[in-house]
Structure 1
Amino acid sequence: MSRFDLTGRSAIVTGANTGIGQAIAVALAEAGANILAVGRSPMDETEAQCRPHGKGFLAIHADLATLEPIERIMGSAEERFGRVDILVNNAGIIRRADALDLTEADWDAVMDVNVKSAFFLAQAVGRRMIADGGGGKIVNVASLLSVQGGIRVASYTAAKSGLAGLTRLLANEWAPKGINVNAIAPGYVASNNTAALMADPKRSADILARIPAGRWGEPRDIGGAAVFLASPAADFVHGILLPVDGGWLAR
């Protein structure tokens, strides 16, 4: 059996309705996993792409701006699939403004979704994995801004930096308990969050000029990294931040 095979495992993927989250859900399904897709909008397209590959698919409509959905998500996953083996914390939002103009509301909104809900969902999953002794995989979707500053995205940079730190902390605490906690740092990927950048000719050209691969990333580029970190192939990988960035950080 392939070390990348996820047959018989069940994965929660947040923000699975579009973009990177959808691509990760599809990649995990292609590897054989059952998918519990969490999102704020309909996930018919995600389901259509996942069902031919995985053994099961369940969509949960939830807004992770609050912690309210977490136990509902866990209950639905356990009722349908019995156990959660993989969690991908992908849900995230962004607010763009000069640091002098960023409002408290925009700060709080980004921190609540990108860090707070990610931590408490990982906590809920981790408690169950530890209680039954079965271990598991947690993959956080961080960002290049986990290691760089960026511009005009103060709350997003703070949140993604925090998520990278939490990834290392949870890896330290949970590695002895059989849980691998790692993160992916996508580069500039065409998605809802980067639409404003792609629409700005100068910013888009400046970004493209620095990417050695010579193109913007596509959501599916992140899928392979997620499958690796969620699979037995990564059993001895703990606490890493894996860039998938077309070589951006190498330049």
Structure 2
Amino acid sequence: MSIDFAGRAVLVTGGTKGIGHVIARTFLAAGADVLVCGRNSPDTPATTDGTALPTAGGRTARFVAADVRDPAAAVHLVEQAVELVGRLDVLVNNAGGSPDADAATVSPRFVERVVALNLLAPFYVAQPANRVMRSQDTGGSIINIGSVSGVHPQPGTAAYSAAKAGLLTLTRALALEWSPKVRVNHITAGPMASAYGEDGGAAVAGVIPMGRTAVPADVANACLFLAGDLASYLTGADLAVHGGGEYPARYLVTRP
């Protein structure tokens, strides 16, 4: 199925690498004007992690430098996006993540930074985005990228899991307040193959009903659906992109 986003503007936070890069590329391929943000430009020597601007269909995403944990920077980001493209139809709050940490010894500073990136930053960017979208006849769509950790925490993820659980509730609250002009939805992303090193999550695949871990394209395609006209009645929804979750432990230990 071909989904056409020609004439629409999409902003993807954390869109220079990983899942965000694929989300941005997917919207570009669908015809959208795409802007991505990050703390460092992919074109500067300061970026050493192999990031690059997403490209598709002979077009390249535009880049705006921003630390979305800073409320003023988040407002400026949205203002720059509108200045560059003239409108804002879709916001994908993708920036997030955290290294594992022992909850018994982790520093308050670490906790603050994890919560700021995974919960506060999406709120900071969504506020100015909502103001822009409400001024447009066609409104807009905001998509928050969550994690299964927000529903089923794993050891070492206390701050991250709490922040992601908050993001799901934030999504539902904003949907109540901002509908019908602006739709706000959530994706619960499952374990990514890239998070499991060389085997790509092969050892984990056996506990997932779909028989494999997720790849970024799974999340990107879900974003394309939620942002488009096919999902025009969806707001406050949580789309679980996790391959069916995990088999219950009691099933795994008793199956033949």
Fold in common (TM above 0.5)? yes
Residue of 70, 73, 76 corresponding to 1:66: 70
Aligned partner letter, 1:58: R
From 212, 229, 233, the equivalent of 1:232 is 229
Residues 143 and 185, structure 2, Cα contact 8 Å, conserved in 1: yes
Cα distance in 2 for residues equivalent to 1:31 and 1:200: 31
228, 232, 238: which one aligns with 1:241: 238
Change (3 A) 1:30 1:199: closer
Please tell me whether residue 87 in structure 1 is matched to residue 91 in structure 2: yes
Is 1:207 the equivalent of 2:204?
A: yes
> Taking CA–CA contacts closer than 8 Å with sequence separation of 6 or more, which of the two structures ends up with the larger relative contact order?
1
1:50 and 1:87 map into 2 onto residues whose CA distance is 19
Note the alpha carbon deviations across 1:2-32, whole angstroms, 9 max, x for none: 8832110000000101111011101111111
SS of corresponding position for 1:37? strand
Aligned equivalents of 2:193, 2:114: Cα separation in 1: 20
Are 1:184 and 1:243, in contact at CA under 8 Å, matched by a contact in 2? yes
Structure 2 segments unaligned to the other structure (5+ residues): 44-50, 249-256
2: distance between equivalents of 1:103 and 1:15? Answer: 25
Moved more, 235-244 or 33-42: 33-42
After TM superposition, give the deviation of residue 189 of structure 1 in Å: 0.9
Structure 1: 5+ residue stretches without partners: none
4+ aligned runs moved over 4 Å, structure 1: none
- Provide the secondary structure at the position in 2 that maps to 1:68: helix
Written as runs of structure 1 = structure 2, the 5 A alignment for 1:189-208 is 189-191=192-194, 194=195, 198-199=196-197, 207-208=204-205
Q: Scaled by the length of structure 2, what TM-score is found?
A: 0.86
Alignment of 1:145 with 2:149, yes or no, is yes
Distance, in Å, in 2 between the alignment partners of 1:7 and 1:150 is 40
For 1:222 and 1:205, how far apart are their aligned partners in 2?
19
Q: What is the TM-score of this pair, normalised by structure 1? A: 0.87
The structure in which a higher percent of residues are helix is 1
Q: Which moved more, 1:92-101 or 1:152-161?
A: 92-101
Deviation at 1:246, TM superposition (A): 1.9
Question: How far 1:151 sits from its partner (Å)?
Answer: 1.6
Question: In structure 1, the residue corresponding to 2:19 is in which secondary structure?
Answer: helix
2:30 maps to what in 1?
Answer: 31
The one-letter code sitting in structure 2 at the alignment partner of 1:155 is A
The answer to whether structure 1 residue 217 and structure 2 residue 221 are counterparts is: no
Identify if the C-alpha distance between structure 1 residues 182 and 150 changes in structure 2 by more than 3 Å, giving closer, same or farther.
same
State the distance in 2 between where 1:173 and 1:3 align. 32
| SS in structure 2 of the partner of residue 180 of structure 1 | strand
Is residue 125 of structure 1 aligned with residue 129 of structure 2? yes
How well do the aligned residues superpose, as a CA RMSD in angstroms? 2.4
